[in-house]
């Protein structure tokens, strides 16, 4: 499984201290989902932000033997990317979990190999290739979305 969690809690949203985080999460969940999907698409299009390590020569040979092209990385069939970005895909995860004072939005995939591909496996000589944008890239847009929704309440 590969996923990106957005957690809301009253203490973490200082400018929105009087807002019910559960209402806020429900109100902006679709927009946050879209922001994360755009981020994943950007990461895959750039083949990593920062750039993923190149494919091993053996991987390139395997791809050719199986009838696939050399690239792009992590997109041999496109199934992984679709599972991360298409809400109708059978492996796509989009959940909103609510507590009394917290909310959590989860976006990702439950494809079996996703975790290994994203985090790497040193024993298999597989380098990590993070599929989600880094917090420093995605955080400002997420924060803006959350603040806009909170101030509209």
Domain residue spans in the chain? 2-152
- The pTM of this model reads 0.80
pLDDT in tens, the chain (153 residues): 777 766 655 444 434 444 566 676 777 778 888 888 988 999 999 999 999 999 999 999 999 999 999 989 999 999 999 999 999 999 999 888 777 777 777 888 999 899 999 999 999 889 999 998 876 666 666 677 666 766 565
DSSP collapsed to 3 states, the chain: CEEEEEEEEHHHCHHHCCCCHHHHHHHHHHHHHHHHHHHHHHHHHCCCCCCCCCCCHHHHHHHHHCCCCCCCCCCCCCHHHHHHHCCCCCCEEEEEEECCCEEEEEEEECCCCHHHHHHCEHHHCECCCCCCCCHHHHHHHHHHHHHHHHHHC
């Amino acid at each position: 499984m590969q996923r990106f969690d957005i957690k809301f809690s009253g203490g973490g949203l200082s400018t929105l201290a009087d807002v019910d985080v559960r209402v806020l999460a429900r109100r902006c969940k679709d927009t946050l989902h879209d922001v994360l999907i755009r981020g994943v698409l950007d990461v895959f299009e750039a083949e990593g932000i920062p750039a993923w390590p190149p494919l091993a020569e053996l991987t390139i040979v395997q791809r050719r033997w199986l009838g696939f092209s050399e690239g792009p990385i992590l997109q041999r069939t496109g199934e992984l990317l679709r599972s991360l970005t298409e809400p109708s895909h059978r492996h796509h995860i989009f959940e909103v979990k609510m507590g009394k004072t917290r909310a959590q939005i989860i976006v990702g995939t439950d494809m079996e190999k996703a975790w290994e591909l994203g985090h790497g496996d040193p024993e298999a000589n597989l380098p990590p290739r993070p599929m989600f944008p880094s917090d420093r890239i995605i955080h400002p847009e997420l924060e803006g979305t959350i603040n806009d929704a909170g101030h509209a309440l």
